[in-house]
């Protein structure tokens, strides 16, 4: 059985990650814990839509610039209005 594809936090550093040591569940690429986590995140995004990307940046020359916001027909955010 292959190893889980996910990473877990290590230590207190925000950049400390290590590969999950659990075995992938049968028929999955993730251990049961991470499979539930991934499914929960995807379900939440699907039901609630993807949050708008923040384009606010600070610094010289970026005061009034905003990146264009686009939504495609495939975006889950559009499902509620269909």
Q: Give the residues lining the site for Zn ion (CB under 5 A).
A: 4, 6, 20, 22, 31, 34
Q: In angstroms, give the least distance from the CB of 22 to Zn ion.
A: 5
Q: Between residues 3 and 49, which has the closer beta carbon with respect to Zn ion?
A: 3
How far from chain centre, in Å, is Cα 57?
Answer: 21
Tell me how far, at minimum, the Cβ of 31 lies from Zn ion, in Å.
3
CB atoms within 10 A of CB 35: 17
Of residues 22 and 77, the one with the C-beta less far from Zn ion: 22
**DSSP class per residue in 17-39:** EEE--SBPPTTSSS-HHHHHHHH
């Amino acid at each position: 059985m292959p190893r889980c594809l996910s990473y877990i936090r290590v230590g207190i550093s925000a950049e400390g990650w290590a590969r999950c040591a659990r075995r992938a569940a049968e028929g999955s690429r993730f251990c049961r814990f991470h499979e539930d986590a991934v499914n929960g995140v995807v379900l939440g995004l699907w039901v609630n839509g993807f949050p708008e990307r923040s384009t606010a940046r600070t610094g010289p020359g970026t005061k009034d610039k905003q990146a264009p916001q686009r939504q495609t027909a495939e975006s889950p955010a559009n499902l509620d209005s269909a």
